[in-house]
């Protein structure tokens, strides 16, 4: 959520930002908020002045009563009663306008960075840099589900019978590999100075509304029937909401956390659920990184965070590239974002494995997360998040890039301690 001062002082900037995101249908919201805000402030001023007048007149009544000027005091009491009668109506209108303004403000996208590429959708995202040499071996690489099945490591048929499409059983060495990369990613981030966390896997609706747009909520989140609880789609949701309505000390910042959780997603939309493999599914596990920091530090942390992803994937023999997200591909709360994409030698192209985002103060405004500066002033923090790894999707890149001609999988040196010292897994 943006600062309403932007709409008061620079409506054109807010409208231009909406146009850059190709959301012209939201343009009327800006003028609606502008007019409602004028009326809200006028109503609030009238209510404040009425309460102030009552206080002043009450003191006057007290003085008159003390001086035994009963008739004069009675006249002023009548005046106080008349003013008091107006206040509930003003407060009701003030509350209505405040709610209407907030509803619209929650739909207006965050201001994007000046250097974000302008484009309608992800086809306009821009490759910025590659890391590692993308190679295609001289033997055929099977589909990832077939690689897993060759180790008796994947059973989607049973999962379909038990849970439906979009679920899976992992078994044996593939399941162990899945757990190993999560443990490796956890320790990798701890070594970077991040605090390891395991958060709640369900959160209240006000927490959901604080961390994501309404459209994302509708398309992603599973609601628990009969309760004000949602299953998280990523641990970022719980981790940012942990600080809801908190006033932090400046000396506490930056707060750097790495969190593990299962993730649950409806995956409503154009992509849909993958029938056969484990690329797009309803349930997966993820190691996340989350940062809360001072505004002047957020772009520095953004660069650190996506670079951590590159370093981790390269340590597992996986070539990656950084893809800068264009304006139309940014979720409403994001100031800037990039994807780290892994090389698929089978498909001979890259695919997304990490998403790094700077949301500036958009989430903090929704959730009321501020910090107190040394001079006593209060300011909203900036929030950032990035995927460390999200298996089983990242296992696709891992298996394809470490597959050998005989069908075995090489275990990179960094991962061997988590695999009981194994150098490879074999059929």
Residue 115: inside a domain, yes or no?
A: no
| 130 and 95 within one domain | no
Indicate the number of domains in the chain. Answer: 2
- 275's tokens: 């029938």
Same domain, 140 and 94: no
* Residue 59: inside a domain: yes
pLDDT at 54: 82
Full residue range of the structural domain in which residue 128 is found: 122-425
**Domain co-membership, 83 together with 192:** no
Residue 81 confidence class, pLDDT cut points 50, 70, 90: confident
Same domain, 100 and 126: no
Residue 410 maps to a domain: yes
Q: What average pLDDT is seen over the chain? A: 93
CA distance 147 to 400: 8
The confidence band for 69, taking pLDDT boundaries of 50, 70 and 90, is confident
Taking residues 269-283, what's their average pLDDT? Answer: 77
Rounded distance between C-alpha atoms, residue 228 and residue 223, angstroms: 8
Host H or E run for residue 121: none
- Exposure string over 405-426, b if 16+ CB within 10 A, otherwise e: eeebbebbeebeebbeebeebe
Residue 296 lies in a domain: yes
Residue 280: CATH number of its domain: 3.30.930.10
Q: Do 275 and 301 touch, CB atoms closer than 8 A?
A: no
Asked whether residue 270 carries a pLDDT value surpassing 60, the answer given is no
Poorest-confidence range of 219-223, 248-252, 273-277, 371-375? 273-277
Of 105, 130, 156, the residue that ends a domain is: 105
> Given 43, 77, 105, which residue is the final one in a domain?
105
213 and 91 both lie in a single domain? no
Query: Is 322 within the bounds of a domain?
Result: yes
Q: Are residues 99 and 150 in the same domain?
A: no
Smallest CA-to-CA distance from 313 within 356, 346, 355, 354 is with 354
Q: Is the pLDDT of residue 273 over 70?
A: no
Residue 114 lies in a domain: no
Please indicate, yes or no, whether residues 267 and 218 belong to a single structural domain of this protein: yes
Which whole-number Å values give the CA distances from 64 to 56, 71, 80, 312, 336, in the listed order?
A: 13, 9, 14, 78, 64
Q: Binning pLDDT at 50, 70 and 90, where does residue 269 land?
A: low
Helical H runs in 67-155? 70-105, 144-150
Last residue of a domain, one of 50, 72, 105: 105
pTM of the model: 0.89
Query: Is residue 117, in this structure, part of any structural domain at all?
Result: no
Q: Identify whether residues 45 and 97 lie together within a single domain.
A: yes
DSSP 184-241: HHHHHHHHTTPEEE---SEE-HHHHHHHS-HHHHHHHPEEPTTSS-EE-SSHHHHHHH
What's the N-to-C CA distance of the chain in angstroms? 52
With respect to residue 116, please indicate whether it lies within any of the assigned structural domains: no
In this structure, the answer to whether residues 27 and 151 fall within a common structural domain is: no
**Percent of the chain scoring above 70 in pLDDT:** 98
pLDDT of the residue at 199:
97
**Based on the domain organization, do 91 and 160 belong to the same domain?**
no
Of 393 and 292, the structure prediction assigns the larger pLDDT to 292
The verdict on 76 and 129 lying in the same domain is no
Q: What CA–CA distance (Å, rounded) separates 104 from 131? A: 42
Higher-scoring residue by pLDDT: 6, 270:
6
CATH code of residue 48 = 1.10.287.40
Helices 70-105 and 27-66 meet at what angle, rounded to 10? Answer: 160
Check whether 64 has a pLDDT greater than 80: no
What confidence tens digit (pLDDT) does each residue in 216-226 have? 888 889 999 99
């Amino acid at each position: 959520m943006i600062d309403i001062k932007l709409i008061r002082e620079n409506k054109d900037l807010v409208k231009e930002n909406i146009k850059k995101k190709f959301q012209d249908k939201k343009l009327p919201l800006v003028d609606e908020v502008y007019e409602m805000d004028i009326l809200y402030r006028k109503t609030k001023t009238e209510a404040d002045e009425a309460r102030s007048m009552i206080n002043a007149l009450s003191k006057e009544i007290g003085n008159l009563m003390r001086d035994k000027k009963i008739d004069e005091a009675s006249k002023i009491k009548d005046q106080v009663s008349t003013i008091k009668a107006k206040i509930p109506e003003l407060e009701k209108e003030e509350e209505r306008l405040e709610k209407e303004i907030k509803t619209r403000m929650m739909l207006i996208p965050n201001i994007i960075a000046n250097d974000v590429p302008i484009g309608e959708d992800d086809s306009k995202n821009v490759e910025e840099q590659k890391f590692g040499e993308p190679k295609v071996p001289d033997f055929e690489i099977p589909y990832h589900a077939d690689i897993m099945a060759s180790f008796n490591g994947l059973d989607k048929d049973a999962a379909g019978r038990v849970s439906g499409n979009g679920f899976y059983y992992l078994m044996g060495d593939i399941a162990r590999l899945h757990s190993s990369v999560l443990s490796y990613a956890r320790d990798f981030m701890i070594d970077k100075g991040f605090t390891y966390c395991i958060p709640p896997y369900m959160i209240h609706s006000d927490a959901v509304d604080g961390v994501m747009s309404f459209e994302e909520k509708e398309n992603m989140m599973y609601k628990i029937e009969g309760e004000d609880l949602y299953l998280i789609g990523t641990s970022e949701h719980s981790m940012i909401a942990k600080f809801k309505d908190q006033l932090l000390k400046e000396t506490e910042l930056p707060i750097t956390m790495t969190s593990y959780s299962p993730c649950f997603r409806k995956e409503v939309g154009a992509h849909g659920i993958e029938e056969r493999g484990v690329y797009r599914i309803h349930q997966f596990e993820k190691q996340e990184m989350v940062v809360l920091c001072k505004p002047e530090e957020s772009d520095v942390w953004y660069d650190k965070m996506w670079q951590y992803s590159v370093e981790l994937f390269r340590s597992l023999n996986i070539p990656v590239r950084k893809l800068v997200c264009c304006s139309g591909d940014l979720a409403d709360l994001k100031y800037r974002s990039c994807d780290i994409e892994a090389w698929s030698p089978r498909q001979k192209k890259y695919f997304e494995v990490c998403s790094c985002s700077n949301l500036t103060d958009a989430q903090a405004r929704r959730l009321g997360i501020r910090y107190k500066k040394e001079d006593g002033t209060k300011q909203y923090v900036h929030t950032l998040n990035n995927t460390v790894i999200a298996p089983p999707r990242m296992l696709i890149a891992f298996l394809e890039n470490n597959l050998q001609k005989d069908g075995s999988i090489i275990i990179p040196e960094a991962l061997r301690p988590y695999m009981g010292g194994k150098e490879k897994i074999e059929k």
